Amino acid sequence: MERTDAAYDTDWEYYDDFYADVDDLDFYTALARRAGGPVLELMCGTGRVLVPLARSGLEVTGIDSNHLMLEKAHRKLSREPADVQKRATLLNADARQFELGRRFNLVILAFSSVNHLLTPDDQDRSMACIRRHLSDDGLLAVASFIPHPAKLHSGKLDREVELSNGDLLIRHSTLSSDAAGTLMHVGYRWQVERAGRMVREWNSELDLRLLKPNQLKALLEGAGLQLVERWGGYRDEPLDPKGDVVVFVATPRIVWKENAKLLAR
Ligand SMILES: C[S@@+](CC[C@H](N)C(=O)[O-])C[C@H]1O[C@@H](n2cnc3c(N)ncnc32)[C@H](O)[C@@H]1O
């Protein structure tokens, strides 16, 4: 299987600084409290979501295939109190092929991680693994950006973020998509400026699978799941196909229960 995490070999260092303002933590914490532990976060990266979940008292396992992202998560966890550390487990594994021999009440694929599954094969393998690891009344939460054709071909200065030491982190991105509109290629140019002088510069690139809300829904349904919630953000916003984000919560469709009801008639 081809690597889908190579961009993070360079981008791990400033990941948390750049994405500090993503406002999904309360959403996942509330969902995890509702579902109850244990929680599995696939593609957990630096533990941006996983560490707060462990802090909130839940047992949580994180899987990621990039060892630098995981090392950062380990370092963050090592600064937490012993009970938080005890509740968190980090595993270096591929989301398309893993077997933990146990089931979870909540599985999370946060922050467009699902878009790293580049081919239908990758998607099917990962969904089959998720289904095997989800308890029969468990929940799967998946968030993806919503692709809009007008935004898929552009070069722009994304954003500048001030780092804790006063340096400025600057990212420019160039986006393009294939003719079929299934994959987006993203090129990033990163720069760090100190007192107006550039002190570091590097490039990274990645591909992402484009998923319209109905395609994501079909992917989940194909894996034997049914949607129980659909959101357009992390604060109860209704799903808007013209919006930026789709968040689905799904649960296994237990066919045998329906069959059992039919047989009892
Ligand atoms: C967008 S980041 C999300 C990290 C974290 N979930 C968050 O919300 O901040 C995507 C993560 O997916 C990981 N990743 C990409 N492909 C993967 C794969 N096939 N298996 C496991 N992890 C993968 C990357 O290493 C990276 O840490």
Query: Mean pLDDT throughout 54-58?
Result: 97
Please give the distance, rounded to the nearest whole angstrom, from the Cα atom of residue 208 to the centre of ligand 1: 12
Same domain, 91 and 45: yes
For 155-178, the pLDDT digits (tens) are 676 889 999 999 999 999 999 988
Domain that holds residue 21: 8-146+211-264
| CATH code of the domain in which 13 resides | 3.40.50.150
Interatomic CA distance for residues 41 and 47, integer angstroms: 9
> For residue 258, is pLDDT > 90?
no
> For residue 237, is pLDDT > 60?
yes
Query: Mean pLDDT throughout 236-254?
Result: 95
Same domain, 78 and 132: yes
So what's the pLDDT on residue 251?
A: 96
- Residue 169's DSSP bridge partners are 161, 192
Please give the distance, rounded to the nearest whole angstrom, from the Cα atom of residue 197 to the centre of ligand 1: 32
Domain end marker among 189, 209, 229:
209
Please give the distance, rounded to the nearest whole angstrom, from the Cα atom of residue 64 to the centre of ligand 1: 6
Amino acid 227 reads L
For 83-111, the pLDDT digits (tens) are 999 999 999 999 999 999 999 999 999 99
Number of structural domains in the chain: 2
Give domain status of residue 1, yes or no: no
> For residue 149, is pLDDT > 90?
no
Give domain status of residue 2, yes or no: no
Query: Mean pLDDT throughout 216-229?
Result: 97
Give domain status of residue 3, yes or no: no
Ligand 1 — pocket residues by CB below 6 A?
A: 4-5, 8, 43-45, 48-49, 63-66, 69, 94-96, 110-113, 116
Same domain, 32 and 93: yes
Please give the distance, rounded to the nearest whole angstrom, from the Cα atom of residue 261 to the centre of ligand 1: 41
Interatomic CA distance for residues 49 and 47, integer angstroms: 5
So what's the pLDDT on residue 230?
A: 98
Residue with CA nearest ligand 1 atom 6: 44
Which has the closest alpha carbon to 46: 1, 16, 81?
A: 16
Cβ-proximal residues to 253 (8 Å cutoff; 6+ apart), any chain: 221, 224, 225, 226
What is the distance of C-alpha 61 from the center of its chain?
14
Same domain, 140 and 205: no
Top mutation candidate among 24, 43, 112 for ligand 1, by most atoms within 8 Å of CB: 43
